[in-house]
Structure 1
Amino acid sequence: MGQPRKELTPERSPLHLWGAELRAWRDRRGLSLARMGQLIRYNPSYLARIERGERKPPRELAEAADRKLNASGALTRLWDLIDDKPNAVRRPDDVANLHGHVANARQVIAEMPDFHGESEEAGMLVPCRAQDGRIIFVTLPRRTFLSGMGLGAVAAVTAGPSVAAQPRTLALPDMNPAEHFRQLRTALIDNDNLLGPLRVIPTVESQINAMQQLRQGLRGADARDLLHVQTQYAEFCGWLYHDAGDFRSAQYWTDRALEWSYATGHPETTTYILARKSQLAGDMRDAMQAVDLAEAALAQARPNSRLGAIAATYAAYGHALSGDATASQRTFEEAHEMLTQLDEDPTSPWGAWMDPSYVEVHRARGLAALGDHKAAAAGFRTAITALPPGYHRDRGVYLARESTAYAGASEPEQAAKVGAEALSIAAATGSARIMTELTRLDTQLERWQKVPAVAEFRQTFDSFIAHQA
């Protein structure tokens, strides 16, 4: 029997946090230290000391691990926070301190039930202003992020009690349990649209836990019905983590939803979740995975269905990410064609929001990925105009993407104006998708920093993000 794993101490220093992050990514990919050593050509014993925070990794090791673990730059960005005294204990005001201070922030207190199997070191990316003025992303443990550190605190959600403060309820009297959870899910979706994910995640996770407990006492159709609702909650939980910027937890919950969907025998649910996995892959800029998953969903979707149009839309964006403009535009047109011949299924809970403007939002993203920024900005503006009033957070995402498109088209004043509007929504919702786009905007606008509107935006944005001590 092997020796028990040494407990890591990511709260001790940036070096220890980096080691814990390396282990978390390695565990996620199912790699032993020996296999990891083979992949990046480092001794496993040396890697073990790095994971324990006993050695500072060379930058080339961080970059190699990032590539082999498909960590999207998280390990390299976090490496930038390791100082020349790697074993120094964090100062109380260090931005990487897990219980520290973030400038201009109020803490968001969120109860996090111990439920799913993700490592506690699993991280969420938080924008941080480095000492040399660059914006870097710091990966902080999921629990820390949701208890107030990082973007959750920077967002300083504005008013009202947290959704997490609601009591956990296993069932309501005189109501079918599945129906109770369906009604609650509708209310939680409304909360997410208005307030963003950080207030909603704890309640969603606790309700999944409650459903699992209830199903132990149910049999037959009631148990299957409740499992179907549980699947819908898991997909929603994946979406919330997706919007919060925690892609690994998003993958975890979306994978659980896919697994449970097969058990329910609802092929439409499985199709939708495959499409969502494609959307997540696209946001992680994995073009091949985005196309493959979308095409799998498209193959399963009913002809002339909303789900087919959704899958085609995500496939088209994946083609744009890969640089294939012809395939991208052709597939966007296919999505529009499906919508014109739509065979509506009023009983379907999936994709009721799907319409031509949603296709155009993704076409605009595709145009931006392909370098046609002026057309992308126009596309986002059209989509924003068509948004229903309740889609507060989505409006912020589209505004942020519009602002980066204006910057790409060398229109800095308009970019700064639109970016400021998006920033106010980011502050209210805590959406990492908005903040990620605005971080790109801040970098894009640097060459126009003498333009008054640009200087004002960058100063305001700077006050919203953490700063390296």
Structure 2
Amino acid sequence: MSPLHELGSTMRSWRVRRGLSLGRLKARIRYDSSYMARVERGDQAPSEALVQAYDQELDAGGTLIGFYRGIHGTGAAGGLSRGHVAKAGPHVAKGSTALADVTDVQAMSDEEGMTVPCRTSDGRIIFVSVPRRIFLGGLGAAAASIASAPLAEAGVSTSRMPAMDRNPVEHLQDIRRVLIDSDNLFGPRQLIPKVHDQINAITALREGKRGADRRNLLQVQTQFAELCGWFHQDAGDHRAAQYWTDRALQWSHMAGDPDLTVYILARKSQLAGDMRDAIEAVDVAEAAEEAARPGTRLAAVAATYAAHGHALRGDTRECMRSYDRARELLHGAHGGSAGSWGVWLDDAYIDVQRARSLSILGDHHAAAEGFRTAITALPAGYHRDHGVYLAREALAHAGSRDPEQAATTGLQALDIGNETGSARILSELARLETDLNRWRTVPSVREFHEALNASVLHEV
């Protein structure tokens, strides 16, 4: 999104949050509704007076007018008024899934690609690679300003860490926790460069260490590499996610941490599932389960991801059997085994993964109920996961031939997708738009289409 698309999307989000249609807001602020719609789509630059009217009527507390003045203060609006991208090159996906094969991972610098959604001239939504330098200078600027405060500590390179009576590994673990917490709120795009900084800093620190100290640094570097793979996965860059997860697997062997190795194998199965590679998802998960120490949660994590692989293969029996096995392994696990790996796995997580598999297998009613239950039980702070579950619930409603509920739920997910930049959310919504196309005359479906259209770049 260009800054103007970002502003328009934010204006629309505030309007939807207040429960107002364009027509109702028009009656209150006395502006032409077609002009307002063009602004919300990012097709036309708004006047400051319009933004001020939105801000006041929607009780946005100065957020919208501050955004507007920030754009004009940087001069970003001039060159990005349309939010279009040039004709897509070979890095743009052409397959029916509308997901891009991103460019090779090379030097992790400002020129490395960030994947962003784009609508092509034939109407599909795909993901294209934009240099991080451009992303952070334009459409990511607003999110960066929001996220900067809690990430201040994470932005300090370990190689410049002041002399202190403190173990550097403990300091690095604190930084990693800050990054994880920030991801739940802001999504991955602003965090990826910071993870790269820490990985590079740890490499420098390892050069001056020997023995156990060096091995401990290698272990924490492995954890950062796994986290980097996860951030890229959530950002939709599966090639980079594979690269960093493979690096993490390699380093885990060097660090001599078998539990971490098993966990990363399970994560590779999860990634394969997101890429819809059923055979890889099952095979890697089975390898992880076999390698897991008895009594740990890691075997249950692996069985959970194997189950979804079976769903992708269309094998309902093996899918349900694997979920039952995952639950048995979870309940038989010892609390202190395998450290912190897999501590997030509980019955609710298995239930939401099962709902996702049920949707794949065509049991859309049960899937929608499963996602709704999971959303209700989701703890506060899991903002991005809330959006993922909403998007998948919306798909299940579409599969159940309930277009109004699908569109309404999809709009809620879109707001979170725009806030976090999660490609997992936006890719599900791209599929939802395709599924809802047969009901495009339904008002709520039309509103969802317009909102999604305003949230993506456009090919010219």
| Interval containing the TM-score (normalised by the shorter chain) | 0.7 to 0.9
- 2:128 aligns with 139
Write out aligned runs for 1:33-44 (5 A).
none
Aligned with residue 169 of structure 1, among 155, 158, 167: 158
**Pair 1:317 & 2:308 matched:** yes
**Pair 1:401 & 2:401 matched:** no
Give the whole-Å Cα distance in 2 for the aligned partners of 1:145 and 1:447.
37
Matched residues, number: 371
- 1:159 aligns with 146
Taking structure 1 as reference, are residues 433 and 270 closer, same or farther at Cα in structure 2, changes over 3 Å only? same
Specify every segment of 5 or more residues in structure 2 that has no aligned partner in the other structure, as ranges: 1-84
Aligned with residue 259 of structure 1, among 250, 255, 268: 250
SS of alignment partner, residue 199 of structure 1: coil
Write out aligned runs for 1:320-469 (5 A).
320-345=311-336, 348-469=339-460
Write out aligned runs for 1:56-75 (5 A).
74=100
Alignment deviations for residues 60-113 of structure 1 (CA, whole Å, 9 cap, x no partner): xx97xx89xxx98636x99xxxxxxxxxxxxxxxxxxxxxxxxxxxxxxxxxxx
Specify every segment of 5 or more residues in structure 1 that has no aligned partner in the other structure, as ranges: 1-11, 23-61, 79-114
Indicate conservation of the 8 Å contact 1:127/1:136, yes or no.
yes
**Pair 1:130 & 2:120 matched:** yes
Q: CA RMSD in A?
A: 2.9
TM-score by length of 2: 0.74
Q: CA deviation at 1:285?
A: 0.3
SS of alignment partner, residue 426 of structure 2: helix
Alignment deviations for residues 370-392 of structure 1 (CA, whole Å, 9 cap, x no partner): 11111111111111112110111
Aligned with residue 297 of structure 2, among 303, 306, 324: 306
Give the whole-Å Cα distance in 1 for the aligned partners of 2:137 and 2:367.
35
Write out aligned runs for 1:46-65 (5 A).
none
Indicate conservation of the 8 Å contact 2:265/2:285, yes or no.
yes
Aligned with residue 201 of structure 2, among 203, 210, 222: 210
- 1:220 aligns with 211
SS of alignment partner, residue 158 of structure 2: coil
Q: CA deviation at 1:125?
A: 4.7
Q: In structure 1, what residue type is equivalent to 2:300?
A: A
Q: CA deviation at 1:159?
A: 2.5
Indicate conservation of the 8 Å contact 2:367/2:393, yes or no.
yes
- 1:200 aligns with 191
TM-score by length of 1: 0.73
Give the whole-Å Cα distance in 2 for the aligned partners of 1:231 and 1:260.
6
- 1:231 aligns with 222
Indicate conservation of the 8 Å contact 1:232/1:257, yes or no.
yes
Indicate conservation of the 8 Å contact 2:98/2:127, yes or no.
no
Identical residues among aligned pairs (%)? 52
Give the whole-Å Cα distance in 2 for the aligned partners of 1:160 and 1:117.
25
Taking structure 1 as reference, are residues 144 and 318 closer, same or farther at Cα in structure 2, changes over 3 Å only? farther
